[in-house]
Amino acid sequence: KSRNLIIEDLNISNEKFSLEVFQLKRDIEKLTNKLSELSKLLIQAETEDEKNKVQIKNLGQRLNQALASKVAELSQYQSVFFKNIREALGSRDDVIISGDRFIFPSEIFFSSGSDIIQSDGLRKLREVSISLKEISEQIPSKIDWILRVDGHTDKIPINNEKFQSNWHLSSSRAINIVKFFILEGIPPHRLVAAGFGENYPIEKGDNEESLKRNRRIEIKLTTR
């Protein structure tokens, strides 16, 4: 009897072991299937990511091409605009055309440390506005053009009752020129004023000639 009980216990243990092995196999099969699904999702995600990268790259290229096309369209009007201003200003060696912008010494428009446009400067800006209005009538409506006015100073610090820094001075000068252009009939949405203070010098020197060249107003006909 004792022998029979032992045999029964062994049989029960074998059945339990077989059941556990079967359950373990099922769990392993489920885990394998889950890993396979995750692997497929990962491969799909990587494929989509590559497609998106290609699409973004192509979009960037198309945007660059569109921008280049707009700049090319505007360049012919820039040339006429620059020519008209050059003729209006006469033979001044201190007014420079650099790339796509006019560079004016600040002294043409403002006295030292001031943002009030001098009478001689107003006459020159009036010539600019007249030329711009003539050109703007020829620029196609599809070109979203703007006239950008940038103020720059030398690196000598300023701190008076009106201006706490060169940044304040350069910004106020650019804004006042834009205000004048608005009074002359240039639409406000076609104008941008920016002040850079002493942060973008043309020359690094400390002598008076270098400082003078860095004190400037830049006027640029460009796209928005």
Q: Could you please report the per-residue DSSP string of the chain? A: -HHHHHHHHHHHHHHHHHHHHHHHHHHHHHHHHHHHHHHHHHHHHHHHHHHHHHHHHHHHHHHHHHHHHHHHHHHHHHHHHHHHHHHHH-S-TT-EEETTEEEEEGGGT--TT--SPPHHHHHHHHHHHHHHHHHHTTS-TTS-EEEEEEEE--SS----SS-SSHHHHHHHHHHHHHHHHHHTT--GGGEEEEE-TTSS-S----SHHHHHHHSEEEEEEEE-
* pLDDT recorded at residue 3: 52
User: pLDDT higher for 44 or 180?
Assistant: 180
* pLDDT recorded at residue 51: 72
Dist. CA 60–CA 19, nearest whole Å: 61
Share the mean pLDDT of the chain.
82
* pLDDT recorded at residue 140: 83
Is the pLDDT at 57 greater than 80? The verdict is no
Residue 222 CA from chain centroid, whole number: 14
Average pLDDT on 114-134 reads 91
Average pLDDT on 126-131 reads 90
Residue for token digits 């945007």? 63
Give the other-Cβ count within 10 Å of 216's Cβ. 26
pLDDT tens-digit series, residues 60-88: 666 665 555 565 677 778 877 777 777 77
pLDDT tens-digit series, residues 208-223: 999 999 999 999 988 8
* pLDDT recorded at residue 137: 86
* pLDDT recorded at residue 144: 86
Dist. CA 31–CA 33, nearest whole Å: 5
* pLDDT recorded at residue 186: 93
Q: Are 220 and 147 in contact (CB under 8 A)?
A: yes
Dist. CA 88–CA 127, nearest whole Å: 6
Going by their DSSP bridges, the two strands 101-105 and 216-223 should be labelled as antiparallel
CA distances from 84 to 79, 115, 212 (A): 9, 26, 26
Is the pLDDT at 4 greater than 60? The verdict is no
Q: What is the value of pTM for the model shown? A: 0.67
What the block records as the tokens of 7 is 């045999």
